[in-house]
Amino acid sequence: MSGRASGGGLLRLSVEDLACRRSGRRVFAGLSFALGPGEALAVTGRNGAGKSSLLAILAGRLRPDAGRVAVADVGEAALPECLHAVGHRDGLKAALTAGENLAFAQALLGVPRIAPRPALERLGLGHAHDLPVAYLSAGQRRRVALARLLVCHRPLWLLDEPTAALDTASQGLLAGLMAEHRAAGGLVVAATHQALGLEDARTLALAAPEPGAAPSSVDADPEDWA
């Protein structure tokens, strides 16, 4: 797996002067950063600071109030083809098995990488391949959702509280997957309240600004989240 955009070059994500307003309230403004191959950004902040809104904008699911998001040299139109987004909700079909859920995602997203069963095995869920998702625990369902990252190639991973419902061992598995993804040139942007094992990740601390306040900023120096 490589961190290549649909245009053929190495993926580079650029955010310029981004602003977000929800229900008439300014969530953040003046936000700019850039990520290159193998880089990771941990987005932190209290509830309501805009972590999920930022990820939704990056995923193309929410229009910003101002600013621009671009990937490589292909602009916003190709952004959905370059990313995986795992949100608060697992987005699984309860009546389908774990394997069927992953097969559905693979057929929908295209660019297959590995089959559902080995993807589940990477997350310690090989035994759940033929089990309906409705029978799985919250932590197991979360791991099935994360296994979607493996069945199809997407260089940019957008993860919203990815460790939610995961035990310590499962968090370690996720950290390993993110490290492999970055080593292959992929990018990770993760909203989190806790350490994710993102070695040398940069940190973006969001705070809902008051009128006239300075914009949130990305740390100039990497911060070790291991």
Joined tokens for residue 205: 């601390």
Considering the entire predicted model, what is its pTM?
A: 0.87
Q: Looking at residue 161, which CATH number applies to its domain?
A: 3.40.50.300
Q: Does any domain span residue 7? A: no
pLDDT of residue 216: 56
pLDDT of residue 30: 95
pLDDT of residue 223: 34
pLDDT of residue 113: 87
Q: Does any domain span residue 215? A: no
pLDDT of residue 211: 54
Instruction: Determine the structural domain holding residue 141 and report its residue range.
Output: 13-209
Q: Does any domain span residue 24? A: yes
147, 177 contact by CB (below 8 A): no
Q: Does any domain span residue 221? A: no
Give the Cα separation of 16 and 31 in Å (integer). 7
pLDDT of residue 7: 40
Ordered mean pLDDT values, 10 residues apiece, the chain (226 residues): 48 95 91 97 94 95 94 66 92 98 93 93 98 98 98 95 96 97 96 90 83 50 31
Q: Does any domain span residue 8? A: no
Q: Please count the structural domains in the chain.
A: 1
Q: Does any domain span residue 157? A: yes
Distance, CA of 149 to chain centre: 9
**Ramachandran area for residue 54 (φ above 0: left; ψ -120 to 50: alpha; else beta):** alpha
177, 166 contact by CB (below 8 A): no
pLDDT of residue 171: 97
Q: Does any domain span residue 220? A: no
Q: Does any domain span residue 28? A: yes
pLDDT of residue 77: 54
